[in-house]
Chain A
Amino acid sequence: MDFFRRIYSFDYMGHKKWWFTISAIIIAAGLISLFVKGGGNPVKGLSYGLEFKEGTRISIAFEKQPSLAEVRQTVAAAGYADAQLQETPNVAGSHQKGFQIQTVTLSASAQDKLKQALNDAFTIAKSNGTEIFSLETVGATFGRQVVSSSLKAVAIALLLILLYVTFRFQWKFAIGAIAAEIHDLLIVVGIYSLTGREVTTATIAAVLTILGYSLYDTVIVFDRIRENQPKFSRMPYGDMVNVSIWETLTRSINTTMIVLFPVLCLLLFGGATLKDFAFALLVGILSGAYSSIFVASPILTVLKEREPQYRKLKLAARADGS
């Protein structure tokens, strides 16, 4: 209760340095993890899903579950001695035990041969008349292309955000917004590296969405600051920002909660792909809510307090208070 009362009267802008330090520590931890795990190359500091690795992945279930060694033997006999095999409890959503086999990239006829060999040896299980067999092939350039097109999208999106916020507010607001965006992205990437969670194309889609949505709270606060600026023209800028934050706090909390509910449901009830989305969205939304108050607004304040009129007000307030 006391906590709830206090967050509506807390001097957020007076503790800028704390927020910057906290964000810097979290981001630094993520970056260090990226560099250490990637052996100096941060792009390699993430564990990418099979969608990014060259090769063919087969998911298969048999009528009678053979041992891993038996399957390995059959796969090796078909000419893929260096294939990676793994037992899975639930093949392709069939709730049946089975195997995942990762080989080099197979041509259509090679796929057919391997499937036939496995069927001859163990008989592929069927569900509703269709074989429990799924297959995925990824070429050498696919993963690279997904990553590079996403990076391009991020760069262009950031530029557009910069232009739009400058056009609707002012460039100082745009700097705050962009800083918050980059903060959110770095935190999501850092957490993926720290937790070693697999990065899939779904993750990338979610991260790109965070880019758009995480500004929601920032826009709410900035909108209020823009409105309060002329009203409280004789108040130090940081204090005016504090008031704006207090006034919009309920809004920010509620909008964040309301988006988190469905995302949490995705995380709880969704299948593997949906869970991937949900986790990245969860981190991004939380980070976005945080950064609206603790990154975007303080940076705006720092920039604004350099303007002569606000510097004067700030100095006057300080002299008055001491």
Chain B
Amino acid sequence: MAALVAVSLYFIIPPSVKTHLGLDLQGGLQIVYLAKTADGKPPSTAQLDQTIAILDRRVNGLGVTESAIQKQGTDQISVSLPGVKNAQQALNLIGKTAQLEFYKDDPQSRPVGPVATRDEALKQLKGQGVSQTEIDQLAANGNTAKYALIVSPADTVNNRPEQWYVYKRPPALTGAAISGARAGFSGQTNKPNVLIDFTSAGSQKFQEITRELYRTGLLKNTPQTFAIVLDNVMESDPMIDYTDPGLRDGISGGAEISGGNMTIQESKDLALVLNIGALPVKLETAYQQQVSATLGKDSLNQGLIAGLVGLGIVLIYMLIYYRFLGLVADLALIVYGILLWGLFSAIPVTLTLPGIAGMILTIGVAADANVVIFERIKEEVRHGKTVRSAVNSGYARGFKTILDANILTMLTAAVIFVFATASPKGFALTLILGVLVSMLTAVLFTRAMLGVLAGFAFFSNPAFMGVRTSQIEAEPVAEDRTTASRRRRAASADSGDGDGHGALVAAADGAATAPGVPSRGASSGGRRTTSTSRKKKKRR
């Protein structure tokens, strides 16, 4: 036991370094994403796992320590970034699908566009005899198996308004064809851009496409373009100059994304995202919470104050009510606190606001265990057992009750942990750990303390645990004179106090053992059974 406490202390000290604070206590960003496939269907488990792996790598790029990415249910992913500085950058970086696509810009590949509005694009597509269900799906998700709705954002530099297109899927080339991306600067405009390198197969394919565009351009005497699209947004539409014979065999190098007003940071983030690869699903924000660091600190302090004051009151109450046994309980409670905290630091469990609430509740649960055991011991003493044997049998019987009660608490906590969403989860986990540690304390500490104390002569005085001599049914078998007189003194001192607690104990005992207290049933003349019960009990 002492070893356990020592180990716990090792994990706790110093607390500021070793306690892991959740996002709600230190500030940061939490997002719950709803994952959907490109055409709006629920994702498969494999897709979800792959998404989490990719998100994990993206988040690593942010340099946030203690970030956590978890699956929630079958189609949700929760991302928490405690202490993140630039929430906006983080959001842009994480949530991007990063689906990179290359489309050819010919009438076959592009049935609609450019048009001025989204509605117009959808309307024109419908005019081409596409079914309404297909249109609805496209409107909702931006993609179907056959079409992609793509926007080219307004370009203030070239004074070009927002334009909408519909392209036919699949695209000529996808993100799978690229081997890497890096942030750089455009040679012409000296603005930040992202350069894309192709894999050898991708490069070959890209060369074929550009060669074909060159030939078509030559044939039609008009320059041909292709579109580089990222997450349904057209990043650029480079033109293949058919008058340049150097392009006769197509372009074999790389491509460039230079979208309008990219900042250096954005170009770096985009390069990172492209390097890691596209998400196999689309992410919609289901829940997003940004907690300021000051709010977190405040909540933590309030929680700690509440916890300490609550613990203090429980300690005092136990001491007043159970006297010497109360002291044992108080020590047990302090040991419990150290063990629980040690466990939390060692696992480590991240401490959240709901977790604090759970911990504070378990203070009560841990003290409850002692109440049940002590009441049982007191009962046994009143029935005339010696303190030593009362401790043994009282502990054994009391513990059995606690076991049932605690198993029920843990059962429900486990159900919450499995089925409920994020916030109740933290609460459930602390509750389970707290109840387990409280039982451990009851077995290892309270039991051992009682066992050791029962060996001392002074402990065999029932007044030490708040039992009055008058409440004991039969005299204990053997008792030396000094204890008896001390007990009498204690009893007379007790009878004078007359406070609520004293009355409660006396009354409790009166009901259980003292004959002659008129029962409610008997006095109303209805039943005689209640008094019978006492006689029965007396005889035992």
Contact A211 B412 (CB under 8 A): yes
Contact B309 A265 (CB under 8 A): yes
Cβ-based interface call for B285 (8 A):
yes
Nearest to A261 among chain B residues (CB) is B313
Contact B302 A269 (CB under 8 A): yes
With an 8 Å Cβ cutoff, the count of chain B residues facing the other chain is 105
Cβ-based interface call for B408 (8 A):
yes
Contact A94 B411 (CB under 8 A): no
- Indicate whether A239 sits within 8 Å of B420 (C-beta atoms), given known contacts A111-B88, A259-B365, A263-B360: no
Contact B368 A9 (CB under 8 A): no
Contact B311 A212 (CB under 8 A): no
Q: Which residues of A contact B533 (CB under 8 A)?
A: 232, 235, 239-240, 242-243
Q: Which residues of B contact A232 (CB under 8 A)?
A: 533, 536
Complex Cα gap A198–B295 (Å): 20
Among A141, A274, A281, max chain B CB count under 10 A is at A274
Among B88, B305, B507, max chain A CB count under 10 A is at B507
Cβ-based interface call for A25 (8 A):
no
Q: Mark B148-168, 1 if CB is under 8 A from A, else 0.
A: 000000000000000000000
- Indicate whether A266 sits within 8 Å of B284 (C-beta atoms), given known contacts A8-B507, A11-B520, A93-B299: no
Q: At the interface, is chain A mostly helix, strand, loop or mixed?
A: helix
Contact B306 A6 (CB under 8 A): no
Cβ-based interface call for A255 (8 A):
yes
With an 8 Å Cβ cutoff, the count of chain A residues facing the other chain is 101
Contact B416 A94 (CB under 8 A): no
Among B306, B358, B536, max chain A CB count under 10 A is at B306
Complex Cα gap A94–B27 (Å): 13
Query: Which of A73-81, A144-152, A186-194, A299-307 faces chain B?
Result: A144-152
Cβ-based interface call for B52 (8 A):
no
Complex Cα gap A8–B7 (Å): 45
Contact B360 A266 (CB under 8 A): yes
Cβ-based interface call for A43 (8 A):
no
Q: Which residues of A contact B401 (CB under 8 A)?
A: 219-220, 223
Complex Cα gap A242–B511 (Å): 11
Complex Cα gap A213–B528 (Å): 36
- Indicate whether A274 sits within 8 Å of B356 (C-beta atoms), given known contacts A141-B34, A150-B420, A281-B361: yes
Q: Which residues of B contact A270 (CB under 8 A)?
A: 302-303, 306, 357
Contact A157 B309 (CB under 8 A): no
Nearest to A240 among chain B residues (CB) is B533
Q: Among residues 209 to 258 in chain A, which have CB atoms less than 8 Å away from a CB atom of chain B?
A: 209, 211-213, 215-216, 219-220, 223, 231-232, 235-236, 239-240, 242-243, 246-251, 253-255, 257-258
Cβ-based interface call for B291 (8 A):
yes
- Indicate whether A259 sits within 8 Å of B364 (C-beta atoms), given known contacts A161-B408, A204-B424: yes
- Indicate whether A149 sits within 8 Å of B313 (C-beta atoms), given known contacts A134-B292, A136-B289: no
How distant is B153 from chain A, measured CB to nearest CB, in Å?
Answer: 10
Cβ-based interface call for B126 (8 A):
no
Contact A133 B292 (CB under 8 A): yes
Complex Cα gap A216–B365 (Å): 9
Q: Which residues of A contact B511 (CB under 8 A)?
A: 8-9, 246-247, 249
Q: Which residues of A contact B375 (CB under 8 A)?
A: 248, 250-251, 254
Q: Which residues of A contact B313 (CB under 8 A)?
A: 261-262, 265
Cβ-based interface call for B448 (8 A):
no
Q: Which residues of A contact B321 (CB under 8 A)?
A: 254
Q: Which 10 A-B pairs have the closest CB atoms?
A: A262-B310, A212-B412, A259-B364, A8-B511, A205-B424, A93-B295, A93-B298, A137-B288, A139-B286, A265-B310
Q: List 23 A-B contacts (CB under 8 A).
A: A9-B511, A11-B527, A92-B291, A109-B92, A135-B290, A139-B284, A145-B286, A153-B415, A201-B424, A202-B357, A211-B412, A212-B408, A212-B431, A255-B372, A258-B314, A259-B367, A261-B314, A263-B360, A266-B303, A266-B310, A270-B306, A271-B299, A321-B526
